[in-house]
Protein backbone atom coordinates (compact mmCIF):
# COMPACT_ATOMS: atom_id res chain seq x y z
CA UNK A 1 0.00 0.00 0.00
CA UNK A 2 2.72 2.31 1.06
CA UNK A 3 4.69 1.34 -2.08
CA UNK A 4 1.65 2.13 -4.27
CA UNK A 5 1.17 5.52 -2.70
CA UNK A 6 4.89 6.36 -3.05
CA UNK A 7 4.77 5.24 -6.70
CA UNK A 8 1.62 7.29 -7.24
CA UNK A 9 3.13 10.39 -5.67
CA UNK A 10 6.30 9.92 -7.71
CA UNK A 11 4.25 9.55 -10.89
CA UNK A 12 2.16 12.63 -10.02
CA UNK A 13 5.34 14.60 -9.33
CA UNK A 14 6.85 13.48 -12.62
CA UNK A 15 3.73 14.40 -14.59
CA UNK A 16 3.55 17.74 -12.80
CA UNK A 17 7.19 18.39 -13.64
CA UNK A 18 6.66 17.37 -17.27
CA UNK A 19 3.57 19.55 -17.51
CA UNK A 20 5.40 22.46 -15.88
CA UNK A 21 8.50 22.34 -18.12
CA UNK A 22 6.54 21.83 -21.32
CA UNK A 23 4.15 24.61 -20.45
CA UNK A 24 7.09 26.92 -19.69
CA UNK A 25 8.67 25.97 -23.03
CA UNK A 26 5.38 26.39 -24.86
CA UNK A 27 4.76 29.50 -22.81
CA UNK A 28 8.15 30.94 -23.72
CA UNK A 29 7.43 30.53 -27.41
CA UNK A 30 4.16 32.42 -26.89
CA UNK A 31 5.78 35.22 -24.96
CA UNK A 32 6.02 38.55 -26.79
CA UNK A 33 9.36 39.98 -27.90
CA UNK A 34 10.33 43.19 -26.07
CA UNK A 35 8.85 46.39 -27.57
CA UNK A 36 10.83 48.26 -30.22
CA UNK A 37 11.51 48.17 -33.95
CA UNK A 38 13.90 46.11 -36.08
CA UNK A 39 14.24 48.59 -38.97
CA UNK A 40 15.20 47.57 -42.51
CA UNK A 41 16.07 44.00 -43.47
CA UNK A 42 19.74 43.24 -42.70
CA UNK A 43 20.89 46.83 -41.97
CA UNK A 44 18.22 47.19 -39.29
CA UNK A 45 18.66 50.47 -37.40
CA UNK A 46 22.44 50.73 -37.78
CA UNK A 47 22.26 54.13 -39.51
CA UNK A 48 19.99 55.59 -36.84
CA UNK A 49 22.49 54.40 -34.21
CA UNK A 50 25.63 55.74 -35.90
CA UNK A 51 24.33 58.84 -37.70
CA UNK A 52 24.17 60.60 -34.33
CA UNK A 53 25.65 60.30 -30.89
CA UNK A 54 24.73 56.66 -30.01
CA UNK A 55 23.49 57.82 -26.63
CA UNK A 56 20.79 59.92 -28.27
CA UNK A 57 19.60 56.71 -29.98
CA UNK A 58 19.59 54.76 -26.69
CA UNK A 59 17.93 57.59 -24.72
CA UNK A 60 15.16 58.11 -27.29
CA UNK A 61 14.43 54.36 -27.35
CA UNK A 62 14.31 54.18 -23.55
CA UNK A 63 11.93 57.15 -23.52
CA UNK A 64 9.64 55.51 -26.09
CA UNK A 65 9.72 51.86 -25.01
CA UNK A 66 10.98 51.74 -21.43
CA UNK A 67 14.02 50.06 -19.91
CA UNK A 68 13.97 46.98 -22.19
CA UNK A 69 13.58 47.22 -25.96
CA UNK A 70 14.56 45.36 -29.11
CA UNK A 71 16.49 46.69 -32.11
CA UNK A 72 18.63 45.39 -34.97
CA UNK A 73 22.11 46.85 -35.47
CA UNK A 74 25.29 45.73 -37.29
CA UNK A 75 23.51 42.63 -38.58
CA UNK A 76 22.49 41.47 -35.07
CA UNK A 77 19.12 41.33 -33.41
CA UNK A 78 19.55 42.88 -29.99
CA UNK A 79 17.72 43.47 -26.77
CA UNK A 80 18.96 46.52 -24.90
CA UNK A 81 18.38 46.85 -21.18
CA UNK A 82 18.83 49.87 -18.97
CA UNK A 83 17.43 49.03 -15.56
CA UNK A 84 19.93 48.23 -12.77
CA UNK A 85 17.98 45.09 -11.78
CA UNK A 86 17.92 43.75 -15.36
CA UNK A 87 21.65 44.44 -15.81
CA UNK A 88 22.35 42.48 -12.62
CA UNK A 89 20.26 39.58 -13.88
CA UNK A 90 22.16 39.39 -17.18
CA UNK A 91 25.65 39.94 -15.75
CA UNK A 92 25.37 38.18 -12.39
CA UNK A 93 22.29 36.17 -11.35
CA UNK A 94 21.54 34.54 -14.73
CA UNK A 95 24.97 35.04 -16.30
CA UNK A 96 25.09 31.36 -17.36
CA UNK A 97 22.28 32.13 -19.84
CA UNK A 98 24.18 35.02 -21.43
CA UNK A 99 27.65 34.37 -22.85
CA UNK A 100 30.14 37.12 -23.75
CA UNK A 101 30.31 37.81 -27.47
CA UNK A 102 32.65 39.86 -29.66
CA UNK A 103 33.07 40.63 -33.39
CA UNK A 104 35.03 37.90 -35.21
CA UNK A 105 37.89 40.28 -36.10
CA UNK A 106 38.49 41.08 -32.42
CA UNK A 107 38.56 37.43 -31.45
CA UNK A 108 41.12 36.62 -34.15
CA UNK A 109 43.36 39.53 -33.23
CA UNK A 110 43.37 39.15 -29.49
CA UNK A 111 43.51 35.38 -29.79
CA UNK A 112 40.79 32.77 -29.26
CA UNK A 113 42.14 31.73 -25.87
CA UNK A 114 41.90 35.19 -24.29
CA UNK A 115 39.85 35.47 -21.08
CA UNK A 116 37.05 37.62 -22.56
CA UNK A 117 35.68 34.91 -24.85
CA UNK A 118 35.28 32.13 -22.28
CA UNK A 119 32.98 30.85 -19.58
CA UNK A 120 33.24 27.90 -17.20
CA UNK A 121 36.40 26.25 -15.82
CA UNK A 122 38.94 27.73 -18.25
CA UNK A 123 37.59 31.23 -17.62
CA UNK A 124 37.62 30.76 -13.82
CA UNK A 125 41.22 29.58 -13.91
CA UNK A 126 42.38 32.54 -16.02
CA UNK A 127 40.48 34.94 -13.82
CA UNK A 128 42.13 33.57 -10.69
CA UNK A 129 45.57 33.99 -12.32
CA UNK A 130 44.82 37.53 -13.49
CA UNK A 131 43.23 38.58 -10.20
CA UNK A 132 46.15 37.43 -8.06
CA UNK A 133 48.52 39.61 -10.11
CA UNK A 134 46.25 42.64 -9.57
CA UNK A 135 45.29 42.35 -5.90
CA UNK A 136 46.12 45.39 -3.72
CA UNK A 137 48.99 43.31 -2.24
CA UNK A 138 50.49 42.81 -5.68
CA UNK A 139 49.97 46.25 -7.19
CA UNK A 140 51.23 48.11 -4.12
CA UNK A 141 54.73 46.72 -4.75
CA UNK A 142 54.99 48.47 -8.12
CA UNK A 143 53.98 51.96 -6.93
CA UNK A 144 57.56 53.38 -7.17
CA UNK A 145 57.83 52.18 -10.80
CA UNK A 146 54.38 53.51 -11.70
CA UNK A 147 55.46 56.79 -10.19
CA UNK A 148 58.60 57.03 -12.27
CA UNK A 149 56.62 56.21 -15.45
CA UNK A 150 54.13 58.98 -14.51
CA UNK A 151 56.88 61.53 -13.83
CA UNK A 152 58.60 60.73 -17.16
CA UNK A 153 55.31 60.93 -19.06
CA UNK A 154 54.44 64.34 -17.68
CA UNK A 155 57.97 65.65 -18.18
CA UNK A 156 57.86 64.63 -21.84
CA UNK A 157 54.72 66.77 -22.28
CA UNK A 158 56.13 69.97 -20.78
CA UNK A 159 55.87 73.21 -22.77
CA UNK A 160 54.35 71.83 -25.94
CA UNK A 161 50.95 71.22 -27.45
CA UNK A 162 50.04 67.60 -26.71
CA UNK A 163 47.16 65.30 -27.49
CA UNK A 164 46.19 64.19 -23.98
CA UNK A 165 44.73 60.85 -25.05
CA UNK A 166 47.79 59.89 -27.13
CA UNK A 167 50.18 60.80 -24.30
CA UNK A 168 48.09 58.94 -21.74
CA UNK A 169 48.02 55.89 -24.01
CA UNK A 170 51.81 55.79 -23.75
CA UNK A 171 51.59 56.13 -19.96
CA UNK A 172 48.98 53.37 -19.54
CA UNK A 173 50.75 51.11 -22.04
CA UNK A 174 53.97 51.35 -20.05
CA UNK A 175 52.14 50.69 -16.76
CA UNK A 176 50.38 47.68 -18.33
CA UNK A 177 53.74 46.26 -19.46
CA UNK A 178 55.16 46.87 -15.98
CA UNK A 179 52.29 44.93 -14.39
CA UNK A 180 52.77 42.09 -16.88
CA UNK A 181 56.58 41.80 -17.13
CA UNK A 182 57.77 43.53 -13.95
CA UNK A 183 60.94 45.60 -14.23
CA UNK A 184 61.96 43.71 -17.39
CA UNK A 185 59.32 45.68 -19.29
CA UNK A 186 61.76 48.37 -20.49
CA UNK A 187 63.65 45.70 -22.43
CA UNK A 188 60.61 44.87 -24.56
CA UNK A 189 58.82 48.21 -24.61
CA UNK A 190 59.97 49.40 -28.05
CA UNK A 191 59.26 46.20 -30.00
CA UNK A 192 55.98 45.43 -28.26
CA UNK A 193 54.82 48.99 -28.80
CA UNK A 194 55.64 48.94 -32.53
CA UNK A 195 53.73 45.69 -33.10
CA UNK A 196 50.82 46.60 -30.86
CA UNK A 197 50.46 49.92 -32.71
CA UNK A 198 49.93 48.09 -36.01
CA UNK A 199 47.71 45.46 -34.42
CA UNK A 200 45.28 47.93 -32.86
CA UNK A 201 44.58 49.61 -36.21
CA UNK A 202 42.82 46.45 -37.32
CA UNK A 203 40.69 45.90 -34.21
CA UNK A 204 37.57 47.30 -35.80
CA UNK A 205 38.34 46.38 -39.40
CA UNK A 206 36.48 43.94 -41.65
CA UNK A 207 38.07 40.50 -41.19
CA UNK A 208 39.32 40.31 -44.82
CA UNK A 209 42.74 38.68 -44.80
CA UNK A 210 44.04 39.88 -48.20
CA UNK A 211 47.46 41.48 -48.75
CA UNK A 212 47.38 45.22 -48.02
CA UNK A 213 44.18 45.23 -45.92
CA UNK A 214 44.29 46.63 -42.39
CA UNK A 215 43.21 43.25 -41.11
CA UNK A 216 46.08 41.50 -42.92
CA UNK A 217 48.67 43.95 -41.56
CA UNK A 218 47.25 43.51 -38.07
CA UNK A 219 47.38 39.74 -38.31
CA UNK A 220 51.07 39.94 -39.29
CA UNK A 221 51.76 42.23 -36.33
CA UNK A 222 49.84 39.78 -34.14
CA UNK A 223 52.14 36.98 -35.27
CA UNK A 224 55.24 39.05 -34.55
CA UNK A 225 53.89 39.94 -31.09
CA UNK A 226 53.41 36.24 -30.35
CA UNK A 227 57.04 35.60 -31.45
CA UNK A 228 58.37 38.32 -29.14
CA UNK A 229 56.32 36.88 -26.28
CA UNK A 230 57.63 33.38 -27.01
CA UNK A 231 61.19 34.77 -26.78
CA UNK A 232 60.39 36.42 -23.43
CA UNK A 233 58.97 33.15 -22.11
CA UNK A 234 62.10 31.25 -23.14
CA UNK A 235 64.40 33.83 -21.52
CA UNK A 236 62.43 33.69 -18.29
CA UNK A 237 62.48 29.91 -18.18
CA UNK A 238 66.25 29.87 -18.82
CA UNK A 239 67.03 32.53 -16.22
CA UNK A 240 65.72 30.20 -13.46
CA UNK A 241 65.23 33.09 -11.05
CA UNK A 242 62.59 32.86 -8.35
CA UNK A 243 58.98 32.83 -9.51
CA UNK A 244 57.97 36.41 -10.18
CA UNK A 245 54.86 38.08 -8.85
CA UNK A 246 53.89 39.87 -12.09
CA UNK A 247 51.15 38.67 -14.44
CA UNK A 248 53.57 36.72 -16.62
CA UNK A 249 54.87 34.93 -13.50
CA UNK A 250 51.30 34.09 -12.53
CA UNK A 251 50.54 32.65 -15.99
CA UNK A 252 53.84 30.74 -16.11
CA UNK A 253 53.44 28.81 -12.87
CA UNK A 254 54.02 25.24 -13.90
CA UNK A 255 51.15 23.72 -12.00
CA UNK A 256 48.68 25.92 -13.90
CA UNK A 257 49.64 24.21 -17.15
CA UNK A 258 48.92 27.05 -19.57
CA UNK A 259 50.37 26.65 -23.07
CA UNK A 260 52.55 29.40 -24.57
CA UNK A 261 49.75 30.24 -26.97
CA UNK A 262 47.26 30.64 -24.12
CA UNK A 263 49.72 32.89 -22.28
CA UNK A 264 50.33 35.04 -25.38
CA UNK A 265 46.60 35.46 -26.12
CA UNK A 266 45.96 36.58 -22.58
CA UNK A 267 48.88 38.98 -22.40
CA UNK A 268 47.76 40.68 -25.60
CA UNK A 269 44.22 40.65 -24.16
CA UNK A 270 45.25 42.36 -20.94
CA UNK A 271 47.18 45.07 -22.81
CA UNK A 272 44.07 45.63 -24.91
CA UNK A 273 41.81 45.83 -21.82
CA UNK A 274 44.17 48.03 -19.82
CA UNK A 275 45.44 50.71 -22.15
CA UNK A 276 42.77 52.74 -23.96
CA UNK A 277 40.21 52.37 -21.16
CA UNK A 278 42.45 53.92 -18.51
CA UNK A 279 43.89 56.50 -20.95
CA UNK A 280 40.42 57.77 -21.89
CA UNK A 281 39.36 58.04 -18.24
CA UNK A 282 42.48 60.15 -17.48
CA UNK A 283 41.75 62.32 -20.54
CA UNK A 284 38.24 63.03 -19.23
CA UNK A 285 39.58 63.83 -15.75
CA UNK A 286 42.02 66.36 -17.23
CA UNK A 287 39.07 67.98 -19.04
CA UNK A 288 36.68 68.00 -16.08
CA UNK A 289 39.31 69.41 -13.74
CA UNK A 290 40.10 72.22 -16.22
CA UNK A 291 36.38 73.03 -16.46
CA UNK A 292 35.76 72.93 -12.71
CA UNK A 293 38.35 75.17 -11.00
CA UNK A 294 36.94 74.68 -7.49
CA UNK A 295 37.23 70.88 -7.84
CA UNK A 296 40.76 71.25 -9.23
CA UNK A 297 41.69 73.40 -6.24
CA UNK A 298 40.29 70.85 -3.77
CA UNK A 299 42.21 68.02 -5.48
CA UNK A 300 45.41 70.07 -5.61
CA UNK A 301 45.16 70.93 -1.90
CA UNK A 302 44.59 67.28 -1.04
CA UNK A 303 47.62 66.23 -3.09
CA UNK A 304 49.83 69.01 -1.70
CA UNK A 305 48.84 67.83 1.78
CA UNK A 306 50.11 64.34 0.89
CA UNK A 307 53.32 65.77 -0.56
CA UNK A 308 54.08 67.89 2.51
CA UNK A 309 55.61 65.65 5.15
CA UNK A 310 57.22 63.37 2.54
CA UNK A 311 60.62 65.04 1.95
CA UNK A 312 60.70 63.91 -1.69
CA UNK A 313 60.07 60.30 -0.71
CA UNK A 314 57.87 58.39 -3.13
CA UNK A 315 54.16 57.70 -2.74
CA UNK A 316 53.08 54.67 -0.73
CA UNK A 317 49.93 52.55 -0.75
CA UNK A 318 48.89 54.24 2.51
CA UNK A 319 49.21 57.67 0.82
CA UNK A 320 46.91 56.56 -1.98
CA UNK A 321 44.30 55.59 0.60
CA UNK A 322 44.32 59.17 1.93
CA UNK A 323 42.97 60.75 -1.25
CA UNK A 324 39.15 60.76 -0.81
CA UNK A 325 38.53 63.91 -2.88
CA UNK A 326 40.68 62.71 -5.78
CA UNK A 327 39.06 59.26 -5.58
CA UNK A 328 35.60 60.83 -5.84
CA UNK A 329 36.76 62.77 -8.93
CA UNK A 330 37.72 59.43 -10.49
CA UNK A 331 34.35 57.89 -9.57
CA UNK A 332 32.38 60.84 -10.92
CA UNK A 333 34.41 60.82 -14.14
CA UNK A 334 33.76 57.10 -14.57
CA UNK A 335 30.04 57.84 -14.17
CA UNK A 336 29.69 60.96 -16.35
CA UNK A 337 32.05 59.84 -19.11
CA UNK A 338 30.92 56.17 -18.98
CA UNK A 339 33.66 55.35 -21.45
CA UNK A 340 32.21 51.87 -22.00
CA UNK A 341 28.63 52.82 -22.85
CA UNK A 342 27.53 49.17 -22.84
CA UNK A 343 28.73 45.60 -23.07
CA UNK A 344 27.61 42.63 -25.18
CA UNK A 345 26.20 39.26 -24.22
CA UNK A 346 24.37 36.60 -26.26
CA UNK A 347 21.42 34.47 -25.10
CA UNK A 348 22.56 30.82 -25.10
CA UNK A 349 18.94 29.58 -25.12
CA UNK A 350 15.44 31.06 -25.31
CA UNK A 351 15.18 33.12 -22.14
CA UNK A 352 12.12 34.50 -20.44
CA UNK A 353 12.95 37.94 -19.24
CA UNK A 354 10.58 40.30 -17.42
CA UNK A 355 7.62 38.71 -19.25
CA UNK A 356 9.32 38.92 -22.67
CA UNK A 357 11.09 36.35 -24.82
CA UNK A 358 14.76 36.84 -25.63
CA UNK A 359 15.33 34.29 -28.41
CA UNK A 360 18.47 32.14 -28.43
CA UNK A 361 21.29 33.85 -30.37
CA UNK A 362 20.02 37.40 -29.82
CA UNK A 363 22.53 39.87 -28.38
CA UNK A 364 21.77 41.47 -25.04
CA UNK A 365 23.32 44.83 -24.22
CA UNK A 366 23.30 46.20 -20.67
CA UNK A 367 23.48 49.99 -21.23
CA UNK A 368 25.88 51.21 -18.52
CA UNK A 369 25.72 54.81 -19.68
CA UNK A 370 21.92 55.00 -19.44
CA UNK A 371 22.04 53.55 -15.93
CA UNK A 372 24.74 56.07 -14.94
CA UNK A 373 22.78 58.93 -16.52
CA UNK A 374 19.32 58.13 -15.18
CA UNK A 375 17.99 60.88 -12.87
CA UNK A 376 16.41 58.13 -10.75
CA UNK A 377 19.88 56.82 -9.91
CA UNK A 378 21.86 60.08 -10.00
CA UNK A 379 19.94 63.38 -9.58
CA UNK A 380 20.94 66.06 -12.09
CA UNK A 381 22.93 63.38 -13.96
CA UNK A 382 24.66 65.60 -16.54
CA UNK A 383 26.33 67.69 -13.81
CA UNK A 384 29.93 66.80 -12.91
CA UNK A 385 29.66 66.71 -9.12
CA UNK A 386 32.17 64.45 -7.32
CA UNK A 387 30.54 65.21 -3.96
CA UNK A 388 27.60 62.96 -4.90
CA UNK A 389 29.92 60.02 -4.11
CA UNK A 390 30.18 61.12 -0.47
CA UNK A 391 27.13 58.84 -0.20
CA UNK A 392 27.40 55.35 -1.71
CA UNK A 393 25.30 54.92 -4.88
CA UNK A 394 22.23 52.64 -4.81
CA UNK A 395 23.11 48.95 -5.45
CA UNK A 396 23.77 48.05 -9.10
CA UNK A 397 23.50 51.65 -10.33
CA UNK A 398 27.26 52.26 -10.67
CA UNK A 399 29.07 49.72 -12.85
CA UNK A 400 32.05 51.38 -14.57
CA UNK A 401 33.98 48.12 -14.16
CA UNK A 402 31.05 45.87 -15.07
CA UNK A 403 29.54 43.31 -12.72
CA UNK A 404 29.69 39.56 -12.10
CA UNK A 405 32.01 36.89 -13.45
CA UNK A 406 33.53 39.08 -16.18
CA UNK A 407 33.84 42.31 -14.19
CA UNK A 408 37.15 44.12 -14.48
CA UNK A 409 40.02 42.37 -12.64
CA UNK A 410 42.29 45.38 -13.33
CA UNK A 411 40.20 47.97 -11.49
CA UNK A 412 42.61 48.34 -8.52
CA UNK A 413 45.54 48.92 -10.86
CA UNK A 414 43.53 51.37 -12.98
CA UNK A 415 42.53 53.46 -9.94
CA UNK A 416 46.05 53.34 -8.53
CA UNK A 417 47.81 54.51 -11.68
CA UNK A 418 45.27 57.33 -12.13
CA UNK A 419 45.83 58.51 -8.53
CA UNK A 420 49.61 58.46 -8.95
CA UNK A 421 49.44 60.43 -12.20
CA UNK A 422 47.00 62.98 -10.74
CA UNK A 423 49.27 63.47 -7.72
CA UNK A 424 52.13 64.65 -9.95
CA UNK A 425 49.92 66.48 -12.43
CA UNK A 426 48.11 68.64 -9.87
CA UNK A 427 51.08 69.37 -7.60
CA UNK A 428 53.57 70.28 -10.33
CA UNK A 429 51.66 71.48 -13.42
CA UNK A 430 49.13 73.90 -14.88
CA UNK A 431 47.36 73.08 -18.11
CA UNK A 432 44.96 74.70 -20.53
CA UNK A 433 42.79 73.14 -23.20
CA UNK A 434 43.35 74.22 -26.79
CA UNK A 435 40.62 74.42 -29.46
CA UNK A 436 37.01 73.26 -29.37
CA UNK A 437 36.22 70.48 -26.93
CA UNK A 438 32.45 70.18 -26.81
CA UNK A 439 32.03 67.10 -28.94
CA UNK A 440 32.45 63.49 -27.88
CA UNK A 441 34.18 61.04 -30.19
CA UNK A 442 33.58 57.29 -29.97
CA UNK A 443 36.72 55.40 -30.91
CA UNK A 444 35.18 53.06 -29.63
CA UNK A 445 35.57 54.48 -26.12
CA UNK A 446 33.96 57.84 -25.43
CA UNK A 447 36.65 60.53 -25.81
CA UNK A 448 36.79 64.34 -25.76
CA UNK A 449 37.05 65.92 -29.21
CA UNK A 450 40.43 65.32 -30.93
CA UNK A 451 41.81 63.53 -27.87
CA UNK A 452 41.84 66.82 -25.88
CA UNK A 453 44.78 68.97 -27.08
CA UNK A 454 46.35 70.81 -24.10
CA UNK A 455 49.47 72.74 -23.19
CA UNK A 456 51.19 71.78 -19.97
CA UNK A 457 53.58 74.01 -18.03
CA UNK A 458 55.47 73.65 -14.75
CA UNK A 459 54.10 75.61 -11.78
Angle between helix 185-201 and helix 214-239 axes, rounded to 10 deg: 160
Pick from 372, 406, 423, 424: which binds ligand HEM (CB under 6 A)? 406
Contact flag: residue 278 with ligand HEM (CB under 6 A): yes
Pick from 199, 295, 413, 416: which binds ligand HEM (CB under 6 A)? 413
Contact positions with ligand HEM (CB under 6 A) in 209-248: none
Closest Cα to residue 363, out of 76, 57, 48, 46? Answer: 76
Residue 384 CA to residue 330 CA, distance in Å, equals 11
Pick from 15, 166, 239, 407: which binds ligand HEM (CB under 6 A)? 407
Smallest separation (angstroms) from ligand HEM to the CB of 416:
9
Pick from 127, 193, 245, 441: which binds ligand HEM (CB under 6 A)? 127
Binding segment for ligand HEM (CB under 6 A), chosen from 10-18, 216-224, 400-408, 430-438, is 400-408
Smallest separation (angstroms) from ligand HEM to the CB of 179:
6
Contact positions with ligand HEM (CB under 6 A) in 324-353: 339-340, 343
Contact flag: residue 401 with ligand HEM (CB under 6 A): yes
Residue 284 CA to residue 176 CA, distance in Å, equals 20
Q: Are strands 429-433 and 453-458 parallel, antiparallel or unpaired?
A: antiparallel
Q: Would you say 76 is a known binding-site residue?
A: no
Binding segment for ligand HEM (CB under 6 A), chosen from 60-68, 142-150, 409-417, 425-433, is 409-417
Pick from 84, 182, 386, 400: which binds ligand HEM (CB under 6 A)? 400
Contact flag: residue 402 with ligand HEM (CB under 6 A): yes
Contact flag: residue 115 with ligand HEM (CB under 6 A): yes
Binding segment for ligand HEM (CB under 6 A), chosen from 24-32, 62-70, 209-217, 399-407, is 399-407
Smallest separation (angstroms) from ligand HEM to the CB of 342:
9
Contact flag: residue 273 with ligand HEM (CB under 6 A): yes
Assess contact for 413 and 135: CB atoms under 8 A.
no
Instruction: Produce one character per residue of 307-336: b if its CB has 16 or more CB atoms within 10 Å, e if not.
Output: beeeeeeebeeebbeebebbbbbbbbbbbb
Contact flag: residue 102 with ligand HEM (CB under 6 A): no
Indicate the residue among 48 and 287 with the shorter CB distance to ligand HEM.
287
Binding segment for ligand HEM (CB under 6 A), chosen from 5-13, 201-209, 273-281, 308-316, is 273-281
Contact positions with ligand HEM (CB under 6 A) in 153-182: 176, 179
Pick from 111, 409, 448, 453: which binds ligand HEM (CB under 6 A)? 409
Indicate the residue among 274 and 323 with the shorter CB distance to ligand HEM.
274
Whether omega for the bond prior to residue 226 falls within 30 degrees of 0, making it cis, is no
Smallest separation (angstroms) from ligand HEM to the CB of 389:
15
Site for ligand HEM (CB under 6 A): how many residues?
27
Binding residues for heme: 408
Binding site for ligand HEM (CB under 6 A): 100, 115-116, 127, 130, 134, 176, 179, 270, 273-274, 277-278, 281, 339-340, 343, 400-402, 406-410, 413-414
Amino acid sequence: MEFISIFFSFFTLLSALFFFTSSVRGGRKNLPLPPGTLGWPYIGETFQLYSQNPNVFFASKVKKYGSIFKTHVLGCRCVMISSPAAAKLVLVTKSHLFKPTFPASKERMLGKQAIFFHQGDYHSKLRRLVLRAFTPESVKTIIPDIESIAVDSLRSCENRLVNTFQEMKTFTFNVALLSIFGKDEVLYRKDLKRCYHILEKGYNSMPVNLPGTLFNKSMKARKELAQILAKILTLRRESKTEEQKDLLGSFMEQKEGLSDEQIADNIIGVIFAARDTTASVITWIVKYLAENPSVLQAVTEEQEGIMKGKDDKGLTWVDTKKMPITSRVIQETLRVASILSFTFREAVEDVEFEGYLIPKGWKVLPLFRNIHHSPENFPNPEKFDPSRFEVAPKPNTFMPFGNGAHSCPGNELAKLEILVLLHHLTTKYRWSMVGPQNEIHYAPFALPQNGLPITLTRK
